Chain A
Amino acid sequence: ETGVTQTPRHLVMGMTNKKSLKCEQHLGHNAMYWYKQSAKKPLELMFVYNFKEQTENNSVPSRFSPECPNSSHLFLHLHTLQPEDSALYLCASSQHGTGGRTEAFFGQGTRLTVV
């Protein structure tokens, strides 16, 4: 248990479906992140939120829509995905403003399969 909880752990969705991934942390952190990890590839940073505001979007297609209603919760809304979007989606949190002095905590990830 890392303090970062992701739900669901596994998700299978059709290309026309709409689904959402949820991430929750109760570590008192004010920065949250979404990462994508495709098979045999490094983790790719998708979005960064600091104090509920999106501060980074790394050229992520609009079919991925993040939402951060408060510092403890982060969502990733999915619609009209493609099979190549199948991957492990990881959420992380950390304390903004501490630079490299503190660590980040990751959830266990959501294994997404698009059929």
Chain B
Amino acid sequence: DAKTTQPNSMESNEEEPVHLPCNHSTISGTDYIHWYRQLPSQGPEYVIHGLTSNVNNRMASLAIAEDRKSSTLILHRATLRDAAVYYCILLHGGATNKLIFGTGTLLAVQP
């Protein structure tokens, strides 16, 4: 399985944009880039995913580098409720959807 590298922690101020980076230099052509987050004492929740093009949804935006070796999750206006561990995970475009979690990035949001 291709690996991802994320910073252990990041800090942001409330109502400011947050850019969470992820490196995946060994990504293969059929790997999808998924982002999940885990709020304290809860199960992970899906945030966004993409293959090659940038993606937007109601929660966030995903910017994918042209060579696909890195990506950035963008929270446009951080709120206190966005404080969580954010996981960047590669999913092969085959049959299985199993998620292998790394340590993720712990995002702290300051009021």
Contact = CB atoms under 8 A, between A and B. Distances in A.
Interface of B: 30-32, 34, 41-46, 49, 51, 90-104
Interface string A23-50: 0000000010101000000110100101
A61 interface: no
A99 B45 contact: no
Interface string A84-105: 0000001010111111111111
23 contacts: A31-B97, A42-B104, A43-B44, A43-B101, A45-B99, A45-B100, A45-B101, A90-B43, A92-B43, A92-B44, A99-B30, A99-B91, A99-B97, A100-B30, A100-B31, A100-B32, A100-B49, A100-B91, A101-B93, A105-B46, A107-B43, A108-B43, A111-B41
Contact of B34 (A35, A103, A107, A111): A103
A103 B49 contact: yes
Contacts of A45: 98-101
A112 to B, nearest CB: 14
**Chain B, interface SS category:** loop
Contacts of B99: 33, 43, 45, 92, 104
Given A42-B104, A100-B90, 10 more contacts: A31-B98, A92-B99, A96-B96, A96-B97, A98-B97, A99-B30, A99-B32, A99-B95, A100-B30, A102-B97
